[in-house]
Amino acid sequence: MLTTGPAKKVTIYVSQDHLYHGESLYAAILDFLFYRKIAGATVTRGVAGFGADHHMHTDRRAMFTENLPMKIEFVEAADKIKEILPKLHEMVGSGLIEIQDTTIVKSAGSDPKTTALIANESVPSLKRQSKAKLMRIYVGENDKWHGKPLHTALLESMRANDIAGVTVYRGILGYGANRRIHAETALHLSHDVPILLSAIDTEEKLRAYIPVLDDMLQQGLVVFSDVDIIKYTHDFEGAERRKEPRS
């Protein structure tokens, strides 16, 4: 939670059509900030501008342009900024990041809950190590988190926390701790079937993610088991291609 006193203000400039893993970059950055518990962030779209490539982006002409400048701003404590900066650096790519000292005169909100810090910059990522952990999370399809489906929120938060990969399965029948049967019925699709999320990554990464789970999961089961990684490949060329703006 932000308190009054010195803090840092970060401003990131990107282009509206820049992509990050196939998703629009500014949205990916916003998601990242959200699930890293940054106190708040604002995205504004400019009406015209130019960047390092000295190419004018404008909507002056009548045609519909999707290449307008986007500005993402947020204010946070200096140590928190330091923690997320490496990842932001990687995401922003050809955009600009600016940090300035600022002073908070009045902090927003009144929620005194401490935030779960996930320091995972030092945690090695999943490569071709032989030992890893498989994490399974069982929730209900109807479970909500801040108004959105819990399984979607979990997936997004795992992505923002750099978990190597997640798969969501929809069950057809089941029951959990409260012993209420969740079933898909014949005539209509039930919307309260069991959902299983499975993720594989290093033990440190997954354990570092538990505080976030503690916060989001009010009902459900989380288990870990040992797995051996046999093959973990990543299409780097494809990823580079996807990062480029679509023409």
Q: Which residues bind other proteins (CB under 8 A)?
A: 135-136, 138, 169-181, 194, 196, 210, 213-214, 217-226
Spatial distance between the Cα atoms of 2 and 39, rounded to a whole number of angstroms: 7
149 or 220: whose CB is closer to other proteins? 220
Instruction: Determine if residue 150 is left, alpha or beta; phi over 0 gives left, psi from -120 to 50 gives alpha, anything else beta.
Output: alpha
For residues 69 and 194, which CB has a smaller minimum distance to other proteins in the complex? 194
Smallest separation, CB 212 to other proteins (Å): 12
For residue 163, the minimal CB distance to other proteins (Å) is 14
Q: What stretch of H or E contains 243?
A: helix 236-243
Closest CB to other proteins among residues 50, 224: 224
CA separation for the pair 128, 209 (Å, rounded) = 21
Q: Smallest distance from the beta carbon of 169 to other proteins, in angstroms?
A: 5
Nearest distance, CB of residue 230 and other proteins, angstroms: 17
Output phi, psi for 8, to 5 deg: -115, 145
**Quick one: 82 or 170, whose CB is closer to other proteins?**
170
Smallest distance from other proteins to CB 223, Å: 4
Nearer to other proteins, 93 or 171 (CB): 171
What one-letter code names the amino acid at 196?
L
- For the stretch 50-57, contacts whose Cβ atoms lie closer than 8 Å and that sit 24 or more positions apart, written own/partner, are 51/13, 51/15, 51/94, 51/95, 51/96, 52/94, 52/96, 57/15
Closer of 104 and 134 to other proteins (Cβ): 134
- Closer residue to other proteins (CB): 69 or 149: 149
The answer to whether the CB of 40 falls within 8 A of the CB of 111 is no
Q: Which two tokens stand for residue 150?
A: 């819990």
Q: How far apart are CA 186 and CA 164, in angstroms?
A: 36
How near is the Cβ of 196 to other proteins at its closest, in Å? Answer: 6
Residue with tokens 């049967």: 181
| Residue 141 beta carbon to other proteins: minimum distance, rounded to whole angstroms | 12
* Nearest CA-CA partner of 117 in 88, 90, 84: 84
